Amino acid sequence: MDMTKLAEALGTTPRNAWGVYDDLRRRGAVRSVTVVDPTKVLGACECRASIRLDCRAPELIEAVEESLARDLQIATAVRVTGTWDYLVRAYHSSEAVADAWFRGLLALPGVVDGELKFCRTIFERHTYAAAILAAER
């Protein structure tokens, strides 16, 4: 959040604007979400991996989930229904690095199939600060 711009809008100093913001946040009137550009933090190559597991071995499912949670290149990992069991969004420095990473996913015990797609997110609606007005009616 740019406190200088908020201070200008409120007609006060940045220090006072922080106070107003903190007070509104404590009261539940404002909720903020930190916005990070993953292409700058994690890598310029964005990809989506879909993987299918051998669901007959629950201990392998847990191991795969733990592996996904430890992987710092992964932004999100979602368990889904349908053709695939997991959808994974990750960022890498290049397509070659992403391909090597994906081959590592396919080599995990319990993973039986997968598909890798390269993409570019245009926008995500959940990554902005939101004001909660009249939340309780």
- Please give the average per-residue pLDDT across 25-31, as a whole number: 80
Residue 66: band (very low, low, confident or very high) from pLDDT cuts 50, 70, 90: very high
Torsion, Cα 97 98 102 103, to 10 degrees, reads: -30
The per-residue pLDDT for 127 is 45
User: Comparing 35-39, 40-44, 52-56, which segment has the lowest mean pLDDT?
Assistant: 35-39
Q: Are 31 and 25 spatial neighbours (Cβ–Cβ below 8 Å)?
A: yes
pLDDT value at position 82? 92
Average pLDDT on 5-19 reads: 87
49 by Cβ neighbours in 10 Å (0-12 / 13-18 / 19+) ranks as buried
Phi/psi at 118 (5° precision): -95, 140
Residues 59-84, mean pLDDT to the nearest whole number: 92
CA-nearest of 50, 44, 36 to 97 is: 44
Return the pLDDT at 36. Answer: 62
Q: What is the pTM of this model?
A: 0.64
Higher pLDDT, 124 or 18: 18
CA end-to-end span of the chain: 28
